[in-house]
A and B are shown apart, each in its own frame.
Chain A
């Protein structure tokens, strides 16, 4: 699976990392819904770390699109909410 960390780049991750990503994704979603900035910051940092540690960076000539996108490291809860909000706004 290919994962993009925004403002960073694309990484290919293996099955085990996919599972961990999915768990952290859920934690991030809960923090986002609850507006819990501390929990959000923590799980975002973990996500970025996980991909950096286990992923293999895509070469520049590899133009495949990603399956998942992780917010840029250090993004705030409000920034990510706004980003996701722009999704629903354009779709309606």
Chain B
């Protein structure tokens, strides 16, 4: 298939020419393929993938059996594939639930901060909530993709199951009538047809796997984010908003206690304090715990610092 130059003697030169011409030929071939129909090229990709394994079988009847074995293998793989996609989908759903809970909590925290007249803190809580909303949108996109992959895979699998069942029936007929001249062609066609379906299913599984891989990379990052407390873990030590709310709550409590103590100093009936804690006034709505802490603090004899009181015990 090569070249005029090659027949012309000088060995080194002809080898060189051959390399160059091979390169040229490949380039030309590629150009021709590009000009060719995309859909035909794709069709040959799909058929080539599945036929490869069957190429070496000599007796067409063996081809039928081998192909059928492969079909059963693939059906098993597809079932596993469907399960994998479902697992990935559930992982995303779990993460979304966690994020949603964080968002709800941040909303409550924003409200509490406003109740303490701390607008900056409320703003920060809402900013973090907005960041979670963005993450949730990303998760939703991934979730939608996985759901559609799952549905496609299930549908492809159902079709393949039907075709495999039909192949199984036809296989026996074809084997029985193998002596007939046209049987070989028919076997070839049946095998090619089902191989194409298997190859298509294989591609669908690959696509689903790609989606799972992408999703898992992101889900891993999300898990890290979640465990770092940047998005959740709102009651933990690492949550600055809760810390500030607690601090503000504490100083509010201190103020309330201070006011009550002042009242005690001027007119000290202990019964009134107990009554006040049963019927909280507007000023005491800040914290239910405040009244309890007050009587405790009053009893311990150190009314100025809750911290001191607890460390003393």
Contact = CB atoms under 8 A, between A and B. Distances in A.
Contact of B39 (A21, A65, A74): A21
Contacts, number: 104
Contacts of A72: 152, 203-204, 207
B37 A83 contact: no
Given A6-B203, A83-B203, A65 B41 contact: no
A4 B196 contact: yes
Contacts of B46: 4, 6, 66, 69
Interface stretch (B162-170, B237-245, B260-268): B162-170
Interface residues of B, number: 40
Contact of B189 (A9, A28, A64, A92): A64
B43 A67 contact: yes
Contacts of A92: 26
Q: Classify chain A: how many residues form its interface, as a range.
A: 35 or more
B40 A68 contact: yes
A18 B223 CA distance: 50
Interface string A12-28: 00000000011001101
Interface in A60-86: 60-72, 74, 79-80, 83-84, 86
Interface of B: 26, 30, 33-35, 37-48, 52, 148, 152, 156, 159, 162-163, 165-167, 169-170, 189-190, 192-196, 200, 203-204, 207
